[in-house]
Structure 1
Amino acid sequence: MSINTQKEAALIQSILNIVSRIVGTHNCALVRASCDTFPTHIVTHKDANSAFTRQLQTISFEQDIPQLSTDVHVHTLSETHSIYLIIRTADGSALTRDMSSSLQELQVIAETTLPPRQVILSNRPDSLLAITKQIELISYQKRKSHFGTILFAVDQLRQINQHYGWDLADKVLNAIARRVQNILPENSVLGNFGGGQFIVVTPPGTSSTNTQSLINALQSLTAECIVLNDHNIGFTFSIGWGLYPHDGSSADELILATTAALTNAQQSGRGHITRSSLHYTEHYRLAQTLEKDLSSATTDEALFLRWMPIIDLATQKIIGQEALLRWNRPQFGEISPTIFIQSAEKNGLIEQLDQWALHEACSVASKWAHPHRVCVNISPTWVGNERLPHIVEKVLNDTGLAPERLQIELSERIPFTPDHVICRELTRLRGLGVRIAIDDFGSGTSSLERLRTYPIDQLKLDRVFVERLYEDDRANATMRCILKMAQMLGFSICAKGVETEKQLSFLDGHGCPEAQGFLFGQPALLS
């Protein structure tokens, strides 16, 4: 068992010395449990023999008092403080009544001299209540103090569940909780939030510097693997933290702030630490209600399209329009498409939004005076569901748009999986007479094999290839190579992000057939 202070270690050895004199053996140990879970480390008498020490190391203290050999006895020293003695008598006999009576007299000593172990609050409501009580306690003080809230998550919990099963994963979480308990300052609170998340509430008066020191101590716990069932299980923590009252004046506000900070830390990768801020909290609050509002966007008439013209560089005329989905969120205004589209893809709403955009774009385009091409973005995340060809066919029938005027565009920023299914679905689309384009080409998972096998009509080059033209020799050479490759493969090319006359001149001079960008106009509503 890890000992927080030398004083505590000396107290335990003093108790074990008394135990040794009562039972007539140095082979004794003291166990201090946390809630209903025994720690895996115990404190043995300093003069206990190596055989007894090794025997204790083989004993599992997982849920209940273990079944020991006949010569090893467990004596409950304090039920309320969960303090137990393990004794191996010299001759293997049972503890006598006098021994047990004398040992019981140590209860008061143990309970009054040893600080109580940290209790693990078992759920979120209990943790909220503990924070509320601490805030109430502080409110009665003349000099208001502060404290920290630290929310941390085990990054590898899902993998541990998958590889070893839930039972062992629970044991890992128990072991982590015990490690955390052993480093917490006195009067701290440790709560289990579920899902591999724990919260630490530091004692009143804990400064920002001391909170950060505790966080560093938490991170140091991950340096040593947890050994269970002969498995060495490594782990890391993502951590979000805040201070009362700076980051929240109530339990709910503090939990919201630290949860937002933890979310940001998790998005940065494993093992990151984030201090809460108003920016993170507002972004998290927005994201929490985003899915609910987004799910009703198609029925609330909150979606609309902006249009980006596509230019034929040979004639300098508009030959098509790209439909760009936009969302006017109630009470928030127009939301960045980067935010709401990523949320829709994550939460399974993107197919619903894509279908709305497809139908609206085709309906609008069917009424144009000129038969320009209409380009609609479809997320690859749902193409593998094998519904897109049927949906496109129905939309074309409903709107009366000629199939050859529709171009379906799939962004390379998102992985195409399963690859063979998407290839088959795109082939079925081509069978309807619809054009296929790979959007943002070169920005994500570009594959030359895909260029060979997919039924592609056009590559829409990501703006990164365009923005450095005439400024970087490699950028110029890369663009020339791509244009030459597309010509040899029979693909049309559309360069995105054209903003200067120099960029336009380079593209036109090297045979790029189409372009779009702010040089030709920003996305706009069409009457």
Structure 2
Amino acid sequence: MTGTRPQAEERRPGSPRPTHDVTAAAFDITAALIVVLDRAGRILRFNAACERMTGYREADVTGQVLWPLVLDAPEVARATAVYAAMTPGQPTSRYDNYWLNTQGEQRHIAWATTHLLDADGEIELVVATGVDVTEERRSRLEQQESELRFRALFERSGDGVVLIDPHDPGTPWRIVDCNAAFARMNGYGRHELIGQSIDVLHEDDLMAREGAVQLQWLRDRGEEAHGEGTHRRRDGTVFSIESSSSVITLSGHELVLGIDRDVTERKRTERELRLLNDRLAHDAHHDALTGLPNRLLLLSRLNQERSRALENGTQLAVMFVDLDHFKRVNDSLGHAAGDDLLREVARRLAGVMRPGDTVARVGGDEFVAVLPDLSGAHHAARIARRVRETVLTPIFVGGQAVTIQCSVGISLFPQDAVTAEDLLKRADLAVYEIKKAGKDAVRFFGADMDAAAGARLHMETRLRAAILEESLTLHYQPQVDALSGHLMGLEALARWTDVELGVVSPSEFIPVAEETGLIVPLGAWALDEACRQAAEWNLRVPVAVNVSPSQLMRAEFPETVQATLRRHGLLPQLLKLEVTERLPVRDPVLAAEQLRRLRALGVQLSLDDFGAVQSAVASLMTLPLQEVKLDRGLLAGVTEDPASWQVLRALLALARGLKIPVIVEGVETEAQLAALRSLGFRTVQGYLMGRPERPDEITQRLRNVGHTVSPG
């Protein structure tokens, strides 16, 4: 009780003098604060509610001046002055102030003060009754602060923010307020929108028709509702928005808060990405040169037809077509003529197939056809004869007629094999037998050809021994700056020469390692040896090591990498792990987590064979990558095919947008290098820049060029 001047309630003349006694029970039971002061401000009564609030006992404070007990020093002086200036003859005084308790906590109180007068009409006693309004005041202040914060956010938000009254009977979903961003986004002035129905921005009277349902839906959600839609600007153009809506209470009124964002540009980018992904998906399943299905799509179709044949009890055949002496065409007429010939052969093969057949290009001069719903082996033989006849017809390329022959191997399902891979292998074995016998023939697979399976088992045995004995070697291929030729890195590539098998191509022993699980110890050896060699060279550029999905998915792989780096004293940033996109990953979520753990070590992560499969864009968007290496297949036709040029340009733009460097592998000609330079690619790898070389050859190269490798 302080602050404003107290006002008095007079006794009527002649009325009996009050005794000022208050019934003890009522005085102490009430929750209200009651304090009685004499004219000097001394405490005469201090009820139980006052005791609870302040921590003082009535017996201890009776006779003391009130204000030093419950006010801080500045307020004591002011309260004393106001109290001394009180005059009788005025009604009950009401005001707010605060008291301090014994712990120094400030409590806000709403007071009503009554003056009791003596016989001479002067103030004898002051009775103050108070209610603790601390929590109410705090809530009110918090609401005011919240509304101020809301207003600040409302005005400063970069998104369009609108407040809507869904209860206006005259204007359905009336715009109560909106920020400048909302008005600007919709092409209006702010003053033009306030008071209008939100339907002014819709293409029809949506909220007038469905407003009640929408409001109930928002209430039922009890949280922000997210969605997408369209708005119509003042000039009539329609654009896409992403919207969040919620029901709020502001100054006691139920309103709808909407936060809108113009997502036109994002939608356009998403469409472009979908188109790009569709193109990559098509390219991932089709041969770039001929447009025929590739091996990936072939296997999918073959598995579908195999399942259907099992269900229907029918036969199917796999036909392997290998062009004889195709190399002579390339050597004599050039690669362009050879490409023209392959395109024409592809067109002819597709032309002699039945509507349900599939013909694919699986290698340089190799084609495979899947022939379902056969009546028997003779039916497959008849189609094979048509294939040979159409291929044998002269083809005009390079200004002259070229006659080419082919060898056709056939395997039958289910007689020869039941899996897609085995059917392909056995049709290929049949071609191999034709080649040994002189080419230009049709041959069905025979049981005697199973010797090939034994040879593969023998290779697995020898490879296992080679890994245990560490008799494999690593060769290193440079990755260079496309403009300057400066060395940007080295890729470690496994090589194997066996005492029994001779030189074994990686394309032969790596698949065997993947299929048998030997890729894990092989990969561990390659990682250790590459790090050892890089440390010995004191490389200033990273060494790249290929990592199989089988390695990546092992829980201890990040620890293995860390231990290898420490063992050889190699800085993490000088190791680059290349993860191929061609091989399937069983658990993409776990793979992403493993990559994040590896990146946390400081090693570089590169996505190899990017663009080879349909998931290319998804991989780029979701994996923690620091580099992508474009699949060599994307270079096919880059010097003469505008579509290939556009795909490379789009991929580079996408990678740059995500700030991910790009390497192009498989660069073999000056024309390809020139094309990549003109597109803006920075780093390249391929035979043109240097073939994979032994460590001693790389050592000499590093000494000679000081980490600079010239093209060729």
Structure with larger Rg: 2
TM-score between the two structures when normalised by the length of structure 1: 0.49
TM-score between the two structures when normalised by the length of structure 2: 0.37
